[in-house]
Amino acid sequence: MLRKHVLISPILSSFSYLPAPVNISYWWNWGSMARVTLVIQILTRLFLSIHYISDSALAFDSVIHISRDVNRGFMIRNMHANGASLFLFVIFIHIGRGIYYKSYNKIHVWGVRILLLIFSILTAFLRYVLPWRQISFWGATVITNFLSVIPWYREVIVNWVWGGFAVRRPTLTRFYTFHFLFPFLIAFFSLLHLVFLHEKRSSNPLRVSTRSLKFNFWPYSRVKDFNSFFLVLLRYTLIVIFFPVYLRDPENFIKANSIVTPIHIKPEWYFLFAYAILRCIPNKTIRVIALVLSILVLYLLPVLSKCSGFFYIKGTSFFRSLVFWSFSVNFVVLTWLRRSPVEYPYVRLAQVSSIFYFISLFLLGIL
């Protein structure tokens, strides 16, 4: 009976009476914020899908049609485009909070969380290609070419993803199909994440047992969620209304041209840290491995923590806090370096920052 309650309660989590630690702070609100942002993305995507045409000859014009001719189409499109940035930002903060407070010790909860990050990145990449613009087209060409490092059937895999021998109409159809399906997978794994979370219970800033000091999640903690919803969505609304194209590359307003290659291919800001790691390594195979490990290395944190339990200190030690904030600053530096030219000293700085990225995550796992 208890197990049945654990499985059903995440579905009604917004109105649940789940016992929660009394000392959880506003940093624990980002998970709820991610769910709200996901709902916004799914709804706006459904409206855009009504008018979008997944054809390389018509995709760009269909996006223009949505912005100019569809009633409030420009608003829905701006909400969806900037909502992707908001969703990834919320996910990054949510994972950063988990690293800082060692939430990765709850292995099942952490594993599903990183899986959500992977699906979110893939969905955002597919969305980036769909408008069929200059940077989008060449970004898709470059990234999908990295599949050629897979041994043996490398050309077969790349040609299957492309649907031919280059990024063309079949590629766009495949990307649109997966972009439509992935948000439902994200929603499913979000519910699975809540199932594990409600079974293992939430952690707290001190990482000590608060079994005798708990309160009902509703209404006490939910009030904090509402405060976060209001503040974050207010800023999101201001960006959508007043700065809708602030996060977009100017060259990405040009229709895709397979003959003219852009001077600088820059992805969205939430890909820049991984692309900086990719770009600073000369060997193609090693750079792809480093790109994949930049995300999958997060799965090693619970393993490192279990293998070095004697390092565990209740509360947050000064040295661990120093490593975490150095890691956060280095993450921003990697993002900035990817927007810099491919020349000295930016390439060398990116190599140093990439090494520090992996070393700092290793230290955060063992401390």
Catalytic residue among 106, 198, 203, 305: 198
251 counts as catalytic: no
225 counts as catalytic: yes
214 counts as catalytic: no
80 counts as catalytic: no
Catalytic residue among 65, 200, 224, 266: 224
Give the closest residue to 202 by CA, choosing from 186, 227, 225, 229.
225
CB burial of residue 176 (10 Å; 0-12, 13-18, 19+): buried
Phi then psi dihedrals of residue 25, to 5 deg:
-105, -170
343 counts as catalytic: no
- Residue 247 CB neighbour total at 10 angstroms: 14
Catalytic residue among 202, 228, 305, 354: 202
CA 23 to centroid of chain Cα atoms: 27
- Residue 274 CB neighbour total at 10 angstroms: 22
> What is 256-300 written as a DSSP string?
P-SSSPPS-----GGGHHHHHHHHT-SSHHHHHHHHHHHHHGGGH
CB burial of residue 5 (10 Å; 0-12, 13-18, 19+): exposed
Catalytic residue among 268, 294, 305, 360: 268
Give the chain's count of helices (H) and strands (E). Answer: 14, 2
Length of the chain: 367
Catalytic residue among 225, 353, 354, 360: 225
**Burial code of 280-312, b = ≥16 C-beta within 10 A, e = fewer?**
bbeeeeebbebbebbeebbebbbebbeeeeeee
Q: What is the DSSP letter of 360?
A: H
CA distance 233 to 37: 9
CA distance 113 to 99: 12
> What amino acid positions are annotated as catalytic residues?
198, 202, 224-225, 268
